[in-house]
Each structure stands twice: as C-alpha cells, then as structure tokens.
Amino acid sequence: MKFHEYKAKELFGDYGIPVPRGVLATSGKDIKGLDYPVVVKAQVLIGGRKKAGGVKFADSPEEASRAVDEIIGMDIRGYEVRQVLVEERAEISKEYYLGITIDREERAPLLMTSAEGGVEIESVPDDKILKRHIPPFSVLPSYVLRDASKFLGLAKEEGKAFSAIARAMFRLFEKEDAELVEINPLVLTSKGEFVAVDAKLTSDDSALYRHKELQGMEQDLTPLEREAKSKGIAFIQLDGDIGVIANGAGLTMATLDMISLKGGKGGVFLDLGGTDDPEKVKEAFRLMKKAKPSVIFLNIFGGITKCDSVAQGVKEVLDEEGIDVAVVARIKGVNEDEAKQILRDAGFVAVSSLERAAEETVRLRG
C-alpha cells in the first residue's frame, strides 16, 4: 500500500525524522500558521506531479491560496487531486537521496544513498549510489553509516544528523512493515540541518493485520478497482477491450499474453485466485460486466478449484441478470467435462485448449 506524502510525513515525524512544517488543504481557506515562502503539492499516489503542474511555489498567503485552488480538482494522469499539502520551503544548500528497501535476491534490507538527490534516482548512475545490505534481525550498523557519511562527503556533525535519520528510517521500515521508505530529496539547509522534503512510503498489504490504524486508508484506484478490492478480488483495468477472468495471477497474465499473440488486447485482468465458490464467481462476472468488455474470456485450470462449481456460478449470473456479451471458456482440470456441458448448455463456447479459446475470443470480438 502506497502512502500519500502527507501521511508518510506524519509517520516520519513520529519516528523523529525532521519534516517541514505544513498543513493539508482542500481549499485556499485551510492555510494557516505557516511562514512564507511555501510550496503547494498535489496529494496523489502517482509520480510526475511536478511535470503535470501539481507542484507550485508561493511567496504570500494570496499566492498560496490561488495555487491551492488551481491544483485542487486537477487531473494528474487519471487521478483527481482532492487534497494538497502546503509546506514551508526549506532553504536548500545540498540535496541527497536516502532509501531503504528489500533486496529480493539477498533476502535482506538494503540501504541506498546518494549525493545526487533531488532527481529521479533511476537516472543516477550506479557508481553515484552507495548500496549496503542490512543484516536481518539487526539494527542499522554503525559501520554502514560511517561508510555512507564518507561516501556523501558529510562533515562530522552532518554525519551524526544523517545517521540519526537513517536509523529512524530503518526503525520505521521494520516496525511499519514497509517495502520502501524513501526521502528524495533529503535536504541539508544553509543552517546545516537535514529536512525530509519529500517522503515515500509503501507498506506490505499482507502485514495490514498487525497495523489496524492503517486499514481502510484511502487508495487511488478507479471506482471499479475500488469496488473489486472491497470484495477481495484482484482486478485491474487495462487499455484493451477483452475481459479476462482466470485463476491465479500467473495464469491470468499468460492468458492476456495469449490473447495478444492472437491479435487481441486485454481490457480487464481479473484473478479469481484459488476459489470456486459460485458466489465469488458471480461477483467477478458482475464486476466484469461493469467494465463493458467486448467479449469475456474465462480461463480456468482447476487443480483444487472445481471447474463445475465455477461454471455453476457463471450460469447463475446468466439466469439471474443476463450477460450481454459472448463468453469463451477454456476449462481444464477437475470436473472439466461437467463444467463444459453446463457452459455449452448456457450458450457459451467451452473448449480445453488455451490457444483455440484465445483464437475464438479474438474472432468473436469482431
């Protein structure tokens, strides 16, 4: 789960990481008690805010108020801006990058830092980024921090302040079950103090059960994606027109790939997961219908999943509320013959071969 910048900064503050003073605003009237100049930043969970005009600077309350009203309601790559963060501007002497994430291959946390802060870290060459693994079950070791301070060219006092921030970040990383904690830029002010001017935090959805305070936090999703999430269905809207329902993320991706190989384009990715509960299948079809695909491709490889239970769910949707587009079903595995019969009787195409089903899907879409 990605955190909005303002929310990440609240948490950063709780862990003792210095952040600028700021207020969350939905209109120009909300700005109070700040020293000028300020920066007004759109709170959306997508990169490239600045380029899209979602970040503005202001030297007076009037300018700030105007900037807030300009940014609220703005559409940034499909996401509507509903709130802005108005913050006092730090006086920048130098900008750094500091992040902690996981290294999948090493199965260990990884600290990354660079003196080339303030730009996209992807564009910084590898030799300008220091990467150090942090031993699991550990604190952030002092030798790593000494290395980092040296690499960044920090003076002694600066190094101490930097180390305190890095340690706080690692505590946050562990305690909040984070996937990524990132400050870019970490600003060194002309007074010699560090401030986290931006804050990125992504936490692990699987660990939400031990972070009750984070449950139900707002996410930037399309309305249909939001509805799917509330029902526990993995659902992603894509650019094409063919709706794909399959069981398992890998198989769903493979199905989309097969459709593309046959000249079609996927419009919805819907992963049923391991369920064959007809109620969940019905829910999946209801969601799919709302996305208005030109044709629905159902790909079930039943291992534990019973194919006929899935087919029963599809039939019930058809009987109760109708399906106004063609359905092509590729059914394989446990109780496949019964499942195919149910679907054929309902007027759908039902075959065993993935390739043939994909061809048929693309043909039916016209």
Partner 1 sequence: MSILVDENSRVIIQGITGHQGMFHAKAMLGFGTKVVAGVTPGKAGETVHGVPVFDSVHGAVKSTDADTSMILVPAPFALDASFEAIDAGIGLIVIITERIPFHDAIRIVAYARQKGTTIIGPNCPGVISPGKCKVGIMPSGIFEQGTVGVVSRSGTLTYEIVNAITESGLGQSTCVGIGGDPIIGSNIVEVLKMFEGDEETESIVIVGEIGGTAEENAAEHVKGMRKSVYAYIAGRTAPPGKRMGHAGAIIARGKGTAESKIAALNEAGVDVAKHPAEIAELIKGG
Closest by CA to 195, choosing from 48, 121, 85, 96, is 96
Among 174, 198, 283, 308, binds partner 1 (CB under 8 A): 174
- Closer to partner 1 at the Cβ: 3 or 301? 301
Among 30, 147, 179, 277, binds partner 1 (CB under 8 A): 179
The answer to the question of residue 232 lying near partner 1 (CB under 8 A) is: no
Residue partners of 317: CB distance under 8 A and separation at least 6: 281, 282, 285, 286, 323
- Closer to partner 1 at the Cβ: 270 or 342? 270
Question: Taking a C-beta distance cutoff of 8 angstroms, is the pair 134, 144 a contact?
Answer: yes
- Least CB distance from residue 121 to partner 1, whole Å? 9
Among 35, 122, 126, 127, binds partner 1 (CB under 8 A): 122
The answer to the question of residue 338 lying near partner 1 (CB under 8 A) is: no
Tokens representing residue 9 in the block:
């900064």
Distance CA(250)–CA(246), nearest Å, equals 9
Among 32, 33, 105, 126, binds partner 1 (CB under 8 A): 105
Distance CA(104)–CA(110), nearest Å, equals 10
Which of the 8 DSSP states describes residue 67?
A: H
In the region spanning residues 243 to 282, those forming contacts with partner 1, defined by CB under 8 A, are 246-254, 256-261, 265-266, 269, 271, 273
Distance CA(75)–CA(81), nearest Å, equals 6
**What is the contact mask toward partner 1 in residues 192 to 211, using x (rule: CB under 8 A)?**
------------xxxx-xx-
- Closer to partner 1 at the Cβ: 73 or 136? 136
Determine which helix (DSSP H) or strand (DSSP E) holds 287, and give its type and residue range: helix 278-290
Place of tokens 């290395």: 147
Between vectors from CA 271 to CA 329 and to CA 103, what angle results, nearest 5°?
140
- Least CB distance from residue 182 to partner 1, whole Å? 13
Which of the 8 DSSP states describes residue 170?
A: H
The answer to the question of residue 168 lying near partner 1 (CB under 8 A) is: no
Among 221, 236, 318, 325, binds partner 1 (CB under 8 A): 236
Q: Count Cα neighbours of 67 within 13 Å in the Cβ-side half-sphere.
A: 24
Distance CA(311)–CA(281), nearest Å, equals 9
Distance CA(310)–CA(305), nearest Å, equals 8
Among 303, 337, 341, 347, binds partner 1 (CB under 8 A): 303
Tokens representing residue 150 in the block:
């040296």
> Quick check: helix, strand or coil at residue 181?
strand
- Closer to partner 1 at the Cβ: 20 or 109? 109
**What is the contact mask toward partner 1 in residues 23 to 52, using x (rule: CB under 8 A)?**
------------------------------
- Closer to partner 1 at the Cβ: 117 or 240? 240
Distance CA(112)–CA(333), nearest Å, equals 47
Residue 112 β-bridge partners: 99, 131
The answer to the question of residue 355 lying near partner 1 (CB under 8 A) is: yes
Question: Taking a C-beta distance cutoff of 8 angstroms, is the pair 114, 203 a contact?
Answer: no
- Closer to partner 1 at the Cβ: 274 or 347? 274
Please tell me which residue in 95, 158, 176, 182 is annotated as part of the active site: 182
- Least CB distance from residue 21 to partner 1, whole Å? 32
The answer to the question of residue 104 lying near partner 1 (CB under 8 A) is: yes
Catalytic, 225? Answer no
Which sequence positions are flagged as catalytic? 97, 182
Interface with partner 1 (CB under 8 A): 102, 104-105, 107-109, 122, 136-137, 174, 177, 179, 204-207, 209-210, 234, 236, 238-239, 246-254, 256-261, 265-266, 269, 271, 273, 301-304, 332-334, 353-355
